Amino acid sequence: MSHQNKDVLTATISNKANLIIGQDFSLTVTLKTKNLIKIQSVNIIFTGATKNISVPTGNLSLNLDGSTGYIATYTTVLTVSNHPNVIKENDPIKFTIKVNGSDADPFVFTGTARTINPDSLSLMLNEVFLDTPNIEGSKPLTGKGAMVTTLLLDKAGNSLGNTPIFISSKVPEHLSACKILKYDNITPILPESIWSFSGLSINSDNEGNIKFYIHPQESDSMVLELESWIVGVGNPVSANSPLFIVNTETPDILDTIPEPNILGGFPGPLTSDSGEPNFYVGVYYYPKAETGDYILFFTKSLDKQGTKREYSGHYVIVGNPKTELGLEKYSYSLPYDIFKVGVTYDFNYIVILGKSAGSITSMPTSVTYMGGAIYNPPTNVTRDYDLCKVYTSLGIGKAEIQPDTGISYDSIKRYLDNPSTPNTGLFVEVLGGNNIAGKVPLNSKVTLNVYIQSSNCNTHKSWTLPMPIKVDSQGIASLPFHIPFEFLNKIYPYDNGGPGSIYFDYEFNIGNKKHYGKIWEGLIDTRSE
């Protein structure tokens, strides 16, 4: 017998949720009782529904939980109307669920009809690559996971609290090969279906935040291409990056394919004689190659013993295997700066098969890059958004570095009277605001780019973060980026004594169109005293 004093009826949605006009969403109702449930004499009924939501009719039977006689459930799909004569934004949406044959209090829903900015559905991953080494038997992987987040907003920039969204993978089986946990990184989220679609139903919190965790459970390599969707409204929106789940352990030589063939990489060291930022590589026409396969490139430094093979951060998607694959075709390009100058690397690739879990690993080739590539912000784009602001290691708002001036070791070092964390490197600020000229729309996913040119360092790097929705009295939001000390230290001048150059810009999307901030340009020489 249960120890509770009264039966309890709950639902997988907040009783004050914001629902999207035209939305289909899954609803599971759970009844927990103090006495054993007599399933023939207990049922639920929807009553008092407003005309703007479709609910089941009549007395609805519950399904008894197989492990206990005290829990029963009912699952259905509800549809919010999209007819303009029936519903408009901010209208109330109401219904009540009552239990016949139980003393449980009814579930009373009083939600609100809203619209959504589809750009806010795009999920961000804090990790885009997870290494999944071989494991013994069926023992699950531990300690490896990616956090996935976004903030749901309407078209006016207001948050959408307690709104259900549906998350799927382009290959549904890949999602089911992972453990998905709620915002607490403890509670499982189980897969379910809406109509013919398989995936996850997740609600935003009171402030509109979506947050969950993905933990691989198998050592097979796969690509998780996440999409989020308001079912019935628009199209699924892709995450900002695929999640690569890769077994990087080198197989037996008989199970590998030939190494990558670098154009101009043999004989002798690899150089960029004309300043081109990218080199070209040919990939073996591997067995069963198909459109949609992913090819990921890896490096392993050989200057120290015990270094691990690392994902370069670069991949290609196979379009036409017949025209792209082949060691002499040099179809794919990669930036030279995946290698440090003067360091010898093993360079190889792993093919992740697009239509099934699994991968093929290439043999490595030895590469020593000796420099020559130059990285610049693109010049053939329109730049309508404001310059970013650059600050010393003291932090945002404390010591701004003006464009066309210099960044020195003093700019990036630690000061003993600086209590902030981090307290070295540079800080870059991008400003946002809705409907304000030159300011990035709130909640946009902003990518900050930095480019460095000097005698000993020609490189570029990017970071992506969401523009906050919290604004000051002028309606302006601040998005801070931290540029690590290690990335900026020991940038040397040219032989003639002239300092190097450093550039910052940023980019973001509105729908499918990319927008750019103006270029911040300065000088850099970070030799320590």
Contact call for residues 298 and 315 (beta carbons, < 8 A): no
Which tens digit of pLDDT belongs to each residue from 409-431? Answer: 999 999 988 888 899 999 999 99
In this structure, of 153-157, 262-266, 376-380, the range with the lowest mean pLDDT score is 262-266
Q: Give the count of beta carbons closer than 10 Å to the beta carbon of residue 326.
A: 15
Same domain, 122 and 220: yes
In the predicted structure, residue 383 carries a pLDDT above the cut 60: yes
Q: Hey, what long-range contacts does 378-384 have (CB within 8 A, 24 or more apart)?
A: 378/516, 381/514, 381/516, 382/516, 383/505, 383/516, 383/517, 383/518, 383/519, 384/438, 384/515, 384/516
pLDDT band for 3, please (50, 70, 90 cuts): low
Q: Which domain holds residue 487?
A: 383-525
378 domain-assigned: no
Residue at 511 is within a domain: yes
On whether both 102 and 132 belong to a single domain, the answer is: no
Closest CA to 111 of 53, 153, 58: 53
Tokens of 497: 């004594």
Residue 338: helix, strand or coil by DSSP? helix
Cβ contacts of 438-441, under 8 Å, gap ≥ 24:
438/384, 438/385, 438/386, 439/385, 439/386, 439/476, 439/477, 440/385, 440/467, 440/479, 440/506, 440/508, 440/517, 441/157, 441/467, 441/508, 441/510
Cα–Cα distance list, 268 to 190, 216, 299, 333, 396 (Å): 54, 41, 18, 20, 46
Domains contained in the chain, number = 4
Tokens coding 224: 């998780």
Q: What is the pLDDT of the chain when averaged over all its residues?
A: 93
Q: Which amino acid is at 490?
A: K
Q: Across residues 113-124, what is the average pLDDT?
A: 96
Q: Are residues 360 and 406 in the same domain?
A: no
pLDDT at 32: 95
What's the CATH code of the domain at 356?
A: 2.60.40
Do residue 48 and residue 126 come from a single domain?
Answer: no
Q: Please indicate, yes or no, whether residues 102 and 142 belong to a single structural domain of this protein.
A: no
Question: Quick one: pLDDT band at residue 139, thresholds 50, 70, 90?
Answer: low
- Do 168 and 240 share a domain, yes or no? yes
Same domain, 308 and 239: no
Pairing of strands 383-385, 513-517: parallel
Q: Looking at residue 169, which CATH number applies to its domain? A: 2.60.40.10
Q: 137 pLDDT band (50/70/90 cuts)? A: very low
Which of 135-149, 202-216, 289-303, 319-333 is the least confident region? 135-149
d(CA 413, CA 184): 36
pLDDT band for position 356 (50/70/90)? low
Same structural domain, 478 and 416? yes
Note whether 307 and 431 are same-domain residues: no
- The DSSP H or E segment spanning 412 is helix 409-412
In a domain, 242, yes or no: yes
CA atoms within 13 A on the CB side of 255: 9
Q: Do you find a cis peptide bond into 267, omega within 30 degrees of 0?
A: yes
Residues 463 and 509 in one domain: yes
User: 236 with 259, same domain?
Assistant: no
The first and second tokens of residue 319, run together, are 């379009």
Asked which of 62, 87, 114 is the last residue of a domain, the reply is 114
Domain end position, chosen among 225, 246, 267: 246
Q: What stretches of 21-156 adopt beta strand conformation (E)?
A: 24-32, 43-47, 53-54, 60-61, 63-64, 71-80, 92-100, 107-114, 124-125, 129-131, 146-151
Token representation of residue 19: 């629902």
> Percentage of the chain surpassing pLDDT 90?
84
Is 37 inside a domain boundary?
A: yes
Q: Which residue has the tokens 């320590």?
A: 528
Q: Is residue 359 part of a domain?
A: yes
Q: 80, 87 in Cβ contact below 8 A?
A: yes
Q: Is the residue at 53 inside a domain?
A: yes
Quick one: 402 exposed, middle or buried, by C-beta within 10 A (0-12, 13-18, 19+)?
exposed
Pairing type for strands 243-246 and 129-131 reads parallel
Among the three residues 368, 397, 428, which one is the final residue of a domain in this structure? 368
Is 373 domain-assigned?
A: no
For residue range 464-493, list pLDDT tens digits in order: 999 999 999 999 999 999 999 999 999 999
Same domain, 263 and 354: yes
Which pLDDT score is estimated for 329? Answer: 96
Look up the pTM and report it.
0.91
What digits encode the pLDDT tens for the residues 225-278? Answer: 999 999 999 999 999 999 999 988 888 998 999 999 999 887 679 999 889 999
Rounded Cα distance between 471 and 477, Å, is: 4
Residue 376 lies in a domain: no
